[in-house]
Amino acid sequence: MHLLAILLAATAVSDTTPIRCADCDAWNAPQEPFRIYGDTYYVGPRGLSSVLIDSGKGLILIDGGLPQSAKLVAASVRKLGFELRDVRWILNSHAHFDHAGGMAALQRMTGAKVGASPAGTRALKTGNAAPDDPQAGFGEAMRYPPVRNVEPIADGATVTVGGVTVTAHHTPGHTPGGTTWTWRSCEGDRCADVVFAESLTAIAAPGFRYAADTARVAQFRRSIATIRALPCDVLILTHPSGRFFEQLEASAREGRTAFLDSSACRAYADRGDASLSQRLRDEAAGKTP
């Protein structure tokens, strides 16, 4: 190889080149994959949810973590006995580097289609937060490998693989394209409504004010109400909660019914409402940067 080519290869930015951030190493800590309920499995690193659904006739993956998470997610899928080439769809909660950063690599590894809301689709193709994203002002720090082929999925539309149907619920607020995904997973004759819920955290870059756009605040409240009203037995958050790992521990003793909690979405919506209200109070008091 020519010396220049060697140097280029050594410095090339690939779709798994790690993104550095204050929380990135903790988020990307290793985590053994495990069955959550029925045909639904956890394949993400410790702090970034990736969920695999096995239809028996192909797999659906939700979220890809950071670029450096992609290899961990792929290894977890294989460790559970599945083949990467059987992943038919990779769906996205929202187009931020910590949940979409690994999707380009995972699409390359699996050949799967990628699906997101129309607004999420536009952002994923740019590999950046959308211009109207509350965190867009963080600029270059928001970049991740763009996902070239993304299919927009309308609010209420479904993605079906084998006997598994996943429904998109557009829940904008944290980002303009935020999406919550729901499906049913069964253990024997007991079926559970599973919810992969979009982030409800009202975080923004310096200078951004939610209160400056009442339509945006109303839309965020509607998203919270949507999640509150969902049939919901198993709740999975984009960053798994402490409660989720408590449920994992309990499941070792009690079985996977430990993951069932039909009040989880309502409690999560309450926290989202409280966080948005606090953000609006902080903005009004001049306490936000």
- Nearer Cβ to Zn ion (38/120): 120
Q: Looking at residues 87 to 126 of the shown chain, list those that interact with Zn ion (rule: CB under 5 A).
A: 96
83 in helix, strand or coil? coil
The least CB distance from residue 205 to Zn ion, in Å, is 12
Nearer to Zn ion (CB atom), residue 96 or residue 279? 96
| Shortest Å distance, C-beta 271 to Zn ion | 16
String marking each residue 207-236 x if it binds Zn ion according to CB under 5 A: ------------------------------
Strands 158-161 and 234-237: unpaired
Tokens for 214, please give them: 């009442």
Neighbouring residues of 134: CB distance < 8 A, sequence distance ≥ 6: 174, 175, 202, 203, 204, 205, 208, 210
The owner of tokens 């409660």 is: 243
Q: DSSP secondary-structure letter at 145?
A: P
Q: Which is nearer to Zn ion, 58 or 102 (CB)?
A: 102
Residue whose CB is nearest to Zn ion in the complex, by number: 96
CA distance 226 to 243: 22
184 forms part of the interface with Zn ion (CB under 5 A): no
Question: Which is nearer to Zn ion, 142 or 234 (by Cβ)?
Answer: 142
Give the strand order in the sheet containing 179-187.
158-161, 164-170, 179-187, 190-197, 234-237
What is the closest distance, in whole angstroms, from the C-beta atom of residue 286 to Zn ion in the complex? 25
Toward Zn ion, which CB reaches closer, 96 or 170? 96
Q: How far apart are CA 84 and CA 87, in angstroms?
A: 6
CB of 13 to Zn ion, least distance (A): 22
Distance CA 252, CA 107 (A): 33
Q: How far is the CB of 36 from Zn ion (least distance, A)?
A: 22
Binding stretches for Zn ion (CB under 5 A): 96
